[in-house]
Amino acid sequence: MSDAPWPFHSPGERRLDVLCLGHALVDRLAYVDEEAVDDARLEHGVMVLVDADRAAEIERLFDGWLQVAGGSAANTAAGIASLGGRPGFAGAVGRDEAGAWYAGDLEAVGVASTVDTVASDLPTGVCHVLVTPAGERSMATSLGAAGWIHSSTVEAAGIERAAVLYVEGYLLDAEAAPAVDRAIDLARESGTLIALSLSDPFVVSRHRDRIAELVFGGTVDVLFGNEEEVLGLTATANLADAASRLAAPGRVAVVTRGSAGSLAVLPGETVVVDAVQVDAVADTTGAGDLFAAGFLFALTSGRSPETALRIGSFAAAEVIGHIGARPAIALSLATPAELGGH
């Protein structure tokens, strides 16, 4: 075979459906009992930020960690690839073994990765996830290098060639904020839609002014949040009030409600769909990430808002049925026919 390259940048390599920007975290999962969460001094069902020493301490408490290239936006990218879309991921890792391994693990599932190594001695970010028999996840994230995303990484990521830029809300923490600003500028200049996930109720409370500016100032085209996050952002007490605050021309706000379904707030209408029922929830890690993956895959492949909610629900249901934040099957082959699957 000739290996002559194209004399121009090949469009086949450069077009993306969704460029996901987020913390590059090595997920390390352990299946434990309820008491172990207390033993590890973690809060039940929430994510806390820890330093590298605490991460090392938690690491030593258990055996048999399951490792996968994770982080919220990276999970979304892996989900889009599994559905048959063309995702990219941009983030930062440390100069260590985990950092060298990270991009390859994402690329192996079809994510075009722009993962740069930081100049400092910060280690690659790690997220220890303790999963209880009830499927509750208690997480300790040691961000390390993950937040130190350079503008040059963002500029090399191909945002201008993507249909959608997807930013995880976790990135609004201080060190990544300039990279988020640069990414948003690039997206605006090139007509790339801007999607933001609220990520966590604590993110909303920590960065409420900045998020409100991005959402209500019209920068965000697609907003993702669960009920608690959306109520926090809109300072409302119920979803109907939150929806009327969020409805605006040019914007869609997606609210996930776990087993109670999901809704898309559009300018003139709110579309509601039921959740896909799951027999046994094994691990809710990645549910929101995969919901966003399904929704964005549908958006970028010409489906309607309602079908986007349904594919989001389908992808979320698959991922909570087993341990781990990535699809266990090729979602493109499993997508129900009525949603345009095989």
Residue 217 is a binding residue for a copy of itself (CB under 8 A): no
Q: Which is nearer to a copy of itself, 79 or 125 (CB)?
A: 79
Residues 55-114 that bind a copy of itself (CB under 8 A): none
Residue 181 is a binding residue for a copy of itself (CB under 8 A): no
Question: Token pair of 342, please?
Answer: 């095989």
Q: Which is nearer to a copy of itself, 2 or 238 (CB)?
A: 2
Residue 8 is a binding residue for a copy of itself (CB under 8 A): yes
Q: Which is nearer to a copy of itself, 20 or 164 (CB)?
A: 164
Backbone angles phi, psi at 25, to 5 degrees: -120, 135
Residues 243-272 that bind a copy of itself (CB under 8 A): 249-252, 264, 266-269, 271
Q: Which is nearer to a copy of itself, 141 or 335 (CB)?
A: 335
Residue 11 is a binding residue for a copy of itself (CB under 8 A): yes
Task: In angstroms, give the least distance from the CB of 313 to a copy of itself.
Answer: 14
Report how far residue 73's alpha carbon sits from residue 91's, in angstroms, rounded to the nearest whole number: 9
- Closest alpha carbon to 320 in 279, 287, 273: 287
Choice from 4, 174, 280, 337 touching a copy of itself (CB under 8 A): 4
Q: Which is nearer to a copy of itself, 64 or 302 (CB)?
A: 302
Choice from 88, 305, 312, 324 touching a copy of itself (CB under 8 A): 305
Burial class (CB in 10 A: 0-12, 13-18, 19+), 100: middle
Cβ atoms 132, 285 nearer than 8 A: no
Cβ atoms 262, 313 nearer than 8 A: yes
Q: Which is nearer to a copy of itself, 23 or 310 (CB)?
A: 310
* Interface residues toward a copy of itself, by CB under 8 A: 1-8, 10-13, 15, 17, 163-164, 193, 221, 249-252, 264, 266-269, 271, 298-307
